[in-house]
Chain A
Amino acid sequence: MTDVLEHPVAVGDHGHHEDHGPRGVLKWLTTTDHKVIGLSYTVTAVIMLVIGGLFAEIIRAQLASPNGTLVSLAQYNELFTMHGSVMIYLFAGPFAFGALANIVVPIQIGAPDMAFPRLNALSYWLYLTGSITMLSGFFTAGGAANFGWVGYAPLSNSINTPGAGADLWIGGLLLTGFSAIFTGVNLVATIFYLRAPGMTMFRMPIFTWNLLVTALLILLAFPVLTAGLVMLYADRHFGTHIFSVAGGGVPVLWQHIFWFWGHPEVYILALPFFGMVTEIIAVFSRKPVFGYKGMVFATLTIAALSLGVWAHHMFTTGVVLLPFFSIMSLLIAVPTGIKIFNWIGTMWRGEIWFSTAMLMAIGFLVTFLIGGLTGIYLASPPLDFFTHDTYFVVAHFHSVVMALVLAGMAGLYYWGPKITGYLLNETIGKIQFWFLFVGTQVFTFPIYLLGLRGMPRRMAVYPHDPQWKFLNDVATVGAILIGVSTILFVVNIIVSWKKYPAGDNPWDGHTLEWFTTSPPPHHNFYRLPPIRSERPTWDYNHPEHTALGHGEHAKDEAR
């Protein structure tokens, strides 16, 4: 029987698109439903967050005293490498464009599924096997990869880093890289071809817009990384000398290739989370997104510029065009600033509902602002020369990535009920928020100072200096608070298990996912509302407001 879809028809007509497929493990192995795949991604990515977080806690425990002996120097190298690799490659990316994107994007545009459901399932299997491949390095004789998450040449060649752990790192990245590329193809095709009638490009929710741009960035950036990894593998095993001086190669070429992927990757990670908080802030301020088109424009500008800034990670190599990369990097601050103003503008005079999701989104805003501002310092070569490879850099990007974790939590509290049908406990959620938010600041603030005092990153031991010791202790306390917040999240899932039914539209949402049931039926919709703005569900539920223009909504409601 071919599962051909009758598109949802008139309002009020309840069709029957039930799922008659297999159940249990067989369902997990054979599903092509974007919601089930998205849920698999979510669970896997959260497990990766916990694993990466455990590595971080061990790192901080080691640094709790200047001559820590918890792990050996060699193990420490493996730990920070795998902490960074797990967090970036296996948690943040797949969570951003695999987990919530998979679940939400097709529903937000009124589509029955992703454009290529089987390719979507393949993406997940490549992600899972890639993660297993990379982590299995710990079980090989030489241990896991230990050259940092950036794998710089010549440290990553076969003389300096022999052993299976490094090859497993490369192999894992090949698999997850293809996974990302296939997801990118799928998202672009879905958004270009499967929108519901009336869902013009400029009526798409901002989250969907951001994922479209993310997908384009994936297609621009990931093939470069994959090619670089193939070259690295060839250097290690086939005797080529692409990255080694000895054979006439150029080590810094690896850095060019890596960061040509690596900086866009920063936005591949960030844009989906920007999209999440945009939706959440608007819904919980009970207003439309302020400056919708400006938001779209800013996203596109950030993406375009992000391809021309890669060597700001290479200022200290002495062989890059400092003014070019500095100017391009500083320019990104402009569209990013537009976004921050628009988020504040959306909240301005709104009726703010401080749910857990909204608190997390506000926490994102504050933390991301700190990370963004210190990023502007680092984009200036004279300041970067002074702070490069110190804890200042670690602090900068942890302000950013912890902001993304806050945003991701906001997304889970906001969209989780849509996919599971049940809300999480708000009280535990708010306690979790305070641990996560305060912990993040307590963790990052002292390491900014340590960086300015010259503490290098990637060191398992450090000089006896009371000031350094004190700052490290504070950072470790922050890490513990963050760890507690993660435990609280798990506790919340257990405590709230099937306890608080969510209903179809618990937050009075704006976009189409809140029009369908929780969880949505097999092909997402029994019926669709007319789509006349970027918030069709809200228009449908509040007919008295639909005649007004956007600016007018805002003023009316605030009064």
Chain B
Amino acid sequence: MKVEAKILLILGLFFGIVAAVYWRWSVENAGGVMLVAAMLLGFLPGSYYWWWSRRMRTRPEDDPTATPAQSAGVVGAFPGTSIWPFTMGMGAFFVVLALVFGIWLLVPGIALVTWALLGGIAEGRRGGRV
């Protein structure tokens, strides 16, 4: 976990330096704002990972001498198949078409997205494929 954290923190630091130089030197603000946002995108997750990396034991994937048997057991629950991503995609499609062809398309759009959200959450609670 340490390497992962360091990559993000170093990227954040670099963007911070670039932001400072650019903002002082340039005459517009958009670039400075975007660079500061980039810095935060390095620092926020980076410091979270760093905080965690100091609180957990070395994971098998961070241990150069780990053997495959070391992670035998349950890795996680993976849903087999699910119709909800498709349903949600269609909902988003209608929402975007509403931007172009008329506000009424928001009705099926939002309905589908909501349905998919509820269905997806329920499916997740049950643990993937049912």
Q: When the two chains form their complex, are residues A198 and B64 in contact, meaning their CB atoms are under 8 A apart?
A: yes
Given contacts A126-B92, A310-B31, A321-B26, contact A304 B78 (CB under 8 A): no
Beta-carbon contacts under 8 Å, B19-70 to A: 21-22, 25-28, 30-31, 34-35, 37-38, 41, 49, 60-70
Given contacts A113-B78, A200-B62, A523-B78, contact A260 B72 (CB under 8 A): no
Q: When the two chains form their complex, are residues A311 and B31 in contact, meaning their CB atoms are under 8 A apart?
A: yes
Select the stretch in A66-74, A189-197, A271-279 that faces chain B: A189-197
Beta-carbon contacts under 8 Å, A141-157 to B: none
Q: When the two chains form their complex, are residues A202 and B31 in contact, meaning their CB atoms are under 8 A apart?
A: no
Nearest Cβ on chain A to B86's Cβ, whole angstroms? 5
Report which residue of A5, A30, A530 has the largest number of chain B beta carbons within 10 angstroms of its beta carbon.
A30
**How far is it, in angstroms, between the C-alpha of A38 and the C-alpha of B49 when the chains are bound?**
29
**How far is it, in angstroms, between the C-alpha of A125 and the C-alpha of B83 when the chains are bound?**
11
Q: When the two chains form their complex, are residues A7 and B78 in contact, meaning their CB atoms are under 8 A apart?
A: no
Q: When the two chains form their complex, are residues A6 and B74 in contact, meaning their CB atoms are under 8 A apart?
A: yes
Q: When the two chains form their complex, are residues A256 and B28 in contact, meaning their CB atoms are under 8 A apart?
A: yes
Q: Please indicate the chain B residues that have their CB under 8 angstroms from the CB of A19 in the complex.
A: 80
Given contacts A198-B60, A198-B65, contact A125 B71 (CB under 8 A): no
Q: When the two chains form their complex, are residues A9 and B100 in contact, meaning their CB atoms are under 8 A apart?
A: no
Question: Main SS of the interface on chain A?
Answer: helix
Q: When the two chains form their complex, are residues A171 and B85 in contact, meaning their CB atoms are under 8 A apart?
A: no
Interface string of B117-130 (1 = CB under 8 A from A): 00010000011111
Q: When the two chains form their complex, are residues B61 and A196 in contact, meaning their CB atoms are under 8 A apart?
A: yes
Q: Please indicate the chain A residues that have their CB under 8 angstroms from the CB of B99 in the complex.
A: 167, 170-171, 233, 237
Q: Is A201 an interface residue (CB 8 A)?
A: yes
**How far is it, in angstroms, between the C-alpha of A122 and the C-alpha of B91 when the chains are bound?**
11
Q: When the two chains form their complex, are residues A324 and B22 in contact, meaning their CB atoms are under 8 A apart?
A: yes
Report which residue of B7, B21, B126 has the largest number of chain A beta carbons within 10 angstroms of its beta carbon.
B7
Nearest Cβ on chain A to B82's Cβ, whole angstroms? 5
**How far is it, in angstroms, between the C-alpha of A130 and the C-alpha of B72 when the chains are bound?**
41
- Nearest neighbor of A257 in chain B, beta-carbon distance: B30
Q: When the two chains form their complex, are residues B76 and A5 in contact, meaning their CB atoms are under 8 A apart?
A: yes
Q: When the two chains form their complex, are residues B61 and A125 in contact, meaning their CB atoms are under 8 A apart?
A: no
Q: Is A483 an interface residue (CB 8 A)?
A: no
Q: Is A162 an interface residue (CB 8 A)?
A: no
**How far is it, in angstroms, between the C-alpha of A178 and the C-alpha of B113 when the chains are bound?**
15
Q: Please indicate the chain B residues that have their CB under 8 angstroms from the CB of A466 in the complex.
A: none
Q: When the two chains form their complex, are residues A304 and B66 in contact, meaning their CB atoms are under 8 A apart?
A: no
Nearest Cβ on chain A to B102's Cβ, whole angstroms? 11
Report which residue of A122, A129, A133, A197 has the largest number of chain B beta carbons within 10 angstroms of its beta carbon.
A197
Interface string of A288-331 (1 = CB under 8 A from B): 00000000000010011001101100000001110010001000
Q: When the two chains form their complex, are residues A202 and B72 in contact, meaning their CB atoms are under 8 A apart?
A: no
Among candidates A3, A121, A201, A300, residue contacting B85 with C-beta atoms closer than 8 Å = A121
Among candidates A2, A174, A197, A224, residue contacting B63 with C-beta atoms closer than 8 Å = A197
**How far is it, in angstroms, between the C-alpha of A27 and the C-alpha of B126 when the chains are bound?**
21
Q: When the two chains form their complex, are residues A133 and B96 in contact, meaning their CB atoms are under 8 A apart?
A: yes
Q: When the two chains form their complex, are residues B92 and A30 in contact, meaning their CB atoms are under 8 A apart?
A: no
**How far is it, in angstroms, between the C-alpha of A216 and the C-alpha of B7 when the chains are bound?**
10
Q: When the two chains form their complex, are residues B69 and A9 in contact, meaning their CB atoms are under 8 A apart?
A: yes
Q: Please indicate the chain A residues that have their CB under 8 angstroms from the CB of B106 in the complex.
A: none
Q: Please indicate the chain B residues that have their CB under 8 angstroms from the CB of A216 in the complex.
A: 8, 11
- Nearest neighbor of A174 in chain B, beta-carbon distance: B96
Q: When the two chains form their complex, are residues B38 and A3 in contact, meaning their CB atoms are under 8 A apart?
A: no
Q: When the two chains form their complex, are residues B93 and A129 in contact, meaning their CB atoms are under 8 A apart?
A: yes
Question: Main SS of the interface on chain B?
Answer: helix
**How far is it, in angstroms, between the C-alpha of A8 and the C-alpha of B72 when the chains are bound?**
7
Nearest Cβ on chain B to A6's Cβ, whole angstroms? 7
Nearest Cβ on chain A to B117's Cβ, whole angstroms? 11
- Nearest neighbor of A237 in chain B, beta-carbon distance: B99
Q: When the two chains form their complex, are residues B86 and A321 in contact, meaning their CB atoms are under 8 A apart?
A: no
Nearest Cβ on chain A to B4's Cβ, whole angstroms? 5
Nearest Cβ on chain B to A471's Cβ, whole angstroms? 38
Interface string of A114-127 (1 = CB under 8 A from B): 00011111101110
Q: Please indicate the chain A residues that have their CB under 8 angstroms from the CB of B92 in the complex.
A: 125-126, 129, 175, 178
Given contacts A32-B80, A321-B25, contact A200 B64 (CB under 8 A): yes
Nearest Cβ on chain B to A241's Cβ, whole angstroms? 16
Q: When the two chains form their complex, are residues A6 and B60 in contact, meaning their CB atoms are under 8 A apart?
A: no
Q: When the two chains form their complex, are residues B60 and A29 in contact, meaning their CB atoms are under 8 A apart?
A: no
Beta-carbon contacts under 8 Å, A252-286 to B: 253, 256-257, 260
Among candidates B18, B77, B90, residue contacting A2 with C-beta atoms closer than 8 Å = B77
Q: When the two chains form their complex, are residues B15 and A304 in contact, meaning their CB atoms are under 8 A apart?
A: yes
**How far is it, in angstroms, between the C-alpha of A170 and the C-alpha of B100 when the chains are bound?**
9
Among candidates A31, A126, A199, A530, residue contacting B81 with C-beta atoms closer than 8 Å = A31
Q: Please indicate the chain A residues that have their CB under 8 angstroms from the CB of B31 in the complex.
A: 256, 260, 310-311
Given contacts A122-B89, A170-B99, A256-B30, contact A9 B62 (CB under 8 A): no
| B interface residues, Cβ below 8 angstroms from A | 1, 3-4, 7-8, 11, 14-15, 18, 21-22, 25-28, 30-31, 34-35, 37-38, 41, 49, 60-86, 88-90, 92-93, 96-97, 99-101, 120, 126-130
| Nearest 8 Cβ contacts at the A-B interface | A125-B89, A197-B60, A121-B85, A197-B66, A195-B61, A129-B93, A2-B127, A171-B96
| A interface residues, Cβ below 8 angstroms from B | 1-11, 19-22, 27, 29-32, 112-113, 117-122, 124-126, 128-130, 132-133, 164, 167-168, 170-172, 174-175, 178, 192, 194-203, 216, 219-220, 224, 233, 237, 253, 256-257, 260, 300, 303-304, 307-308, 310-311, 319-321, 324, 328, 523, 527-532
A-B contact list, 18 entries, CB within 8 Å: A5-B75, A7-B72, A7-B75, A117-B78, A118-B79, A118-B120, A125-B90, A125-B92, A129-B89, A129-B92, A196-B71, A198-B64, A198-B65, A201-B62, A216-B8, A253-B30, A300-B7, A304-B15
11 new A-B contacts, CB < 8 A, other than A125-B86, A531-B66, are A3-B77, A6-B73, A21-B80, A118-B84, A118-B120, A122-B88, A125-B85, A129-B89, A171-B96, A233-B99, A256-B31
